[in-house]
Amino acid sequence: MNQQFSFDYACFASASELDPADKALLEKARAITAAAYAPYSNFKVGAAAVLDDGRIVTATNQENASYPVGICAERTLLSAVSAMHANKRILTLAISYASEGKNDRPISPCGLCRQSLAEYEQRSQQPIRLLLGGQTGAVYIIPDCVSLLPLGFSGEDLNR
């Protein structure tokens, strides 16, 4: 029997179509890409999250000469929130990038980040909205992280 996974997401032609709070958060993710340490790939990623108390946390990817030992912006952000804002939930997370090529289409988290985001979401028992965009162009809004990881592995699988 064939089965299918699907999810709904919103697509906007540009950030100008977003509500003001989402637009501002995406702009923070876009701007923080300048602080990324990506001398090897020149692919700079920025993430900005709004917490349940209204604070905004930003982070970037951090590469290492022992490539690929670096850490993605999304996981840097999750680590910062966990360490500096314990017990706070992430409501919305915006992700953007800047590279030497075109930067005009939405970026999506890598597989390792999808796993980390899904577990953080499960741990906090709060869906995390994702705003995915480049420096310009279309923006996707995805209602929760687990949508990006069908048949995901979780702590429940360890207890079977």
CA distance 33 to 47: 8
Q: Is 156 a catalytic residue?
A: no
Give me the pLDDT at residue 154, please. Answer: 82
Give me the pLDDT at residue 152, please. Answer: 85
Phi, psi of 131 (to 5 degrees): -110, 115
In our burial notation (b when 16+ CB lie closer than 10 A, e otherwise), range 45-70 reads: bbbbbbeeeeeebbbbbbbeeeeeeb
Q: Are strands 129-133 and 44-51 parallel, antiparallel or unpaired?
A: unpaired
Which option is the CATH number for 14-147: 3.40.140.10, 3.40.109.10, 3.20.20.70, 1.20.1250.20?
3.40.140.10
Tell me the pLDDT of the chain (160 aa) as tens digits.
999 999 999 999 999 999 999 999 999 999 999 999 999 999 999 999 999 999 999 999 999 999 778 999 999 999 999 999 998 999 999 999 999 999 999 999 999 999 999 999 999 999 999 999 999 999 999 999 999 998 888 888 888 7
Give me the pLDDT at residue 157, please. Answer: 83
Out of 17, 27, 63, 74, which one is annotated catalytic?
74
Strands (E), the chain: 10-12, 44-51, 56-60, 90-98, 129-133, 139-142
Give me the pLDDT at residue 141, please. Answer: 98
Max Cα–Cα distance, the chain, nearest Å: 49
Give me the pLDDT at residue 144, please. Answer: 97
Q: What is the DSSP letter of 37?
A: B
Looking up tokens 């480049």, which residue turns up? 134
Give me the pLDDT at residue 50, please. Answer: 98
Q: Which amino acid is at 86?
A: A
Give me the pLDDT at residue 68, please. Answer: 76
Looking up tokens 């980390």, which residue turns up? 116
